[in-house]
Amino acid sequence: MNTPAITQAENRPPASSSIDRTTREGWLFEAACRAAAWSSFAFLTIILGTIFFEARGALSLRFLTSFDSADPARAGILAGLWGSFWMILLTGAISVPLGVGAAIFLEEYASDTWIVRVIRTNLANLAGVPSVVYGLLGLAAFVRAFGLFDKGGGVERLTGLDVEAIVIAGIEINLPFGRSIFSGALTLALLLLPTIIVASQEALRAVPSSIRHAALALGATRWQTISGQVVPTALPGMVTGIILALSRAIGETAPLIVAGAFTYVAYAPGGIDSPAKLVTDPAGILKAPFDTYTVIPLQVYSWIEKPQTAFHQLASAGIVVLLSLLLVMNGVAVYIRYRSQRHLKW
C-alpha cells in the first residue's frame, strides 16, 4: 500500500518543526505497530521455549506408555492419551453430523422465517457462552440427567421402577450416564456445535450457485443437488473447519473437569491400553465410551497442581505431547486446504 504520495512525504527534508514532529509521530506509531505485531511471534517463542526447556529429560517412551503414579519417576500419560482418543472420536461422531446437518439446513433450505432468525441469533449467542457453563450443563443434564433416575426421581415416580442401567446390544449403559466419556463427549459436542456449524456454513457459501442451478436444471431434486454436487464441492473446506474445531476440543479442560472427568486415573477406558487391543478386544471397545476417564490437558493440570517439581516437569512433557497432537491435526487441516485450493477450477 505504498502509494507515491507518502513516500514523498516521508523523504522530504523537514522544512519546519511541525513537519518534523509529524514524521516523528508517524515513525513512532509505525514502530509501535511493528513491535506489537512481532510480539506475538516473540510470545510464542518464549512460551514454547519455556515448555520445551522444562520438558527436557521427562520425555521418553516410558512416559508415553505408562499410567499415572504417585511416584513421578514412574508416572506417564497413557491414561490421558486413550481418554483423549475416545473423547475426540465420540465428540466428532456426535457433533459433526449434527453440525453439518444444521449448516446444510441453514444455508440450503432455510427461508427467512422467524424460527430461522431465532436459530441464527441463538447460534451467535451460544458461541459466546463460557465453556464452564457448558460443563455445568453436562453435569446437570448428562452426568445426573436432572436427577430423573435418582431415588424418588421422576422415573421412579412414573414407572415405579428404580432404573439404574439399561442394556442395549449387550452393553450395559448406566442411567444417568454418570462421569463417563459419553457424558463428556456430549458436553464437548454441544460446545463445538456453533463452531462446526459456522465453519460448514462458510464452506457451503463458497460453492458458486451456478453449480446448484446446473444440477437443478438437469432435473435433480434439492437433496440430490446438495448431496451430489454442493456437499462434495464444499467438503475440503468443511473438513478443514471441522478438524480445527476438534483440535480445539483436545485442549479443552474446564468443561470436562466440571462434567466429571477424573484427575487420577491409572487405567485406559474399557481396558484398551494398546492399539492392538482395538482389534483383539471388541468387548472393550463397546465398554470404553461408558467408562470413567481423564484427558491429556486434565492430567497436565493435576501434575501442575502437585507441589513436587518433578511433577511440573511431567506436566511440561504432557504439554509437549498435547501440542504435538494439535500440530499433527492442524497440519492435516492445512494440507487439505492446500490440496483443495490447488484443484480449484472456477
Partner 1 sequence: MSSEVAPARQPTSANARMLERRWTGRRISEWGIQSLLFLCAFASILTTAGILFMLVSETFYSPNPSDPAFFQRVSLGQFFGDSAWRPNFEPQRFGIWPLVSGTFLITFIAGLVGLPIGILSAIYLSEYARPRTRSLVKPSLELLAGVPTVVYGYFGLMFVTPYVIQPILGGLLGLEVEGRNALAGGIVVGLMLIPMVCSLSEDALRAVPRSLREAGYALGSTKFDVSVKVVVPAAFSGIVASFLLALSRAVGETMAVAIAAGIRPSLTLNPLESTQTMTSFIVNMTMGDVEAGTMPYKSLFAVATCLFLITLVMNVVSQWVMRRYRETYQ
Residues 202-241 that bind partner 1 (CB under 8 A): 221-223
Residue of 66, 174, 292, 330 interacting with partner 1 (CB under 8 A): 330
- Burial of 51 (C-beta count, 10 Å sphere; 0-12/13-18/19+): middle
What is the C-alpha R_g of the chain?
26
SS3 165: strand
Residue of 13, 16, 17, 41 interacting with partner 1 (CB under 8 A): 41
Q: Please state at what angle helix 231-251 crosses helix 78-104, rounded to 10 degrees.
A: 140
CB 97 within 8 A of CB 91: no
Interactions with partner 1, residue window 291-320 (CB under 8 A): 297, 300-301, 304-305, 312, 315-316, 319
**# chain residues binding partner 1, by CB under 8 A:** 95
Residues 69-88, one symbol each (x = binds partner 1 by CB under 8 A, - = not), give --------------------
Residue of 56, 60, 117, 130 interacting with partner 1 (CB under 8 A): 130
Residue of 52, 89, 131, 216 interacting with partner 1 (CB under 8 A): 131
User: Measured from the CB of residue 318, what is the shortest distance to partner 1 in angstroms?
Assistant: 9
Residue of 56, 69, 105, 274 interacting with partner 1 (CB under 8 A): 105
Q: Which of residues 193 and 272 has its CB atom nearest to partner 1 in the complex?
A: 193
Residue 306 carries which DSSP code?
Answer: S
283 scored as a contact of partner 1 (CB under 8 A): no
140 scored as a contact of partner 1 (CB under 8 A): yes
Q: Which of residues 44 and 283 has its CB atom nearest to partner 1 in the complex?
A: 44
User: Measured from the CB of residue 139, what is the shortest distance to partner 1 in angstroms?
Assistant: 7
Residue of 72, 173, 251, 285 interacting with partner 1 (CB under 8 A): 251
User: Measured from the CB of residue 130, what is the shortest distance to partner 1 in angstroms?
Assistant: 3
Half-sphere exposure of 87 (CA within 13 A, CB side): 35
CA dihedral sign, ordered 209, 211, 216, 221: negative
- Burial of 304 (C-beta count, 10 Å sphere; 0-12/13-18/19+): middle
119 scored as a contact of partner 1 (CB under 8 A): yes
SS3 123: helix
47 scored as a contact of partner 1 (CB under 8 A): yes
CB 321 within 8 A of CB 296: yes
197 scored as a contact of partner 1 (CB under 8 A): yes
H helix intervals, 180-260: 181-205, 209-217, 222-225, 231-251, 254-258
Residue of 64, 93, 133, 175 interacting with partner 1 (CB under 8 A): 133
Q: Which three cell numbers stand for residue 209?
A: 450457485
User: Measured from the CB of residue 258, what is the shortest distance to partner 1 in angstroms?
Assistant: 5
124 scored as a contact of partner 1 (CB under 8 A): yes
247 scored as a contact of partner 1 (CB under 8 A): yes
Question: What gap in Å lies between CA 180 and CA 187, rounded to an integer?
Answer: 11
9 scored as a contact of partner 1 (CB under 8 A): yes
252 scored as a contact of partner 1 (CB under 8 A): yes
Q: Where are the beta strands (DSSP E) in 94-204?
A: 165-168, 171-174
Question: What gap in Å lies between CA 196 and CA 112, rounded to an integer?
Answer: 22
User: Measured from the CB of residue 69, what is the shortest distance to partner 1 in angstroms?
Assistant: 20
126 scored as a contact of partner 1 (CB under 8 A): yes
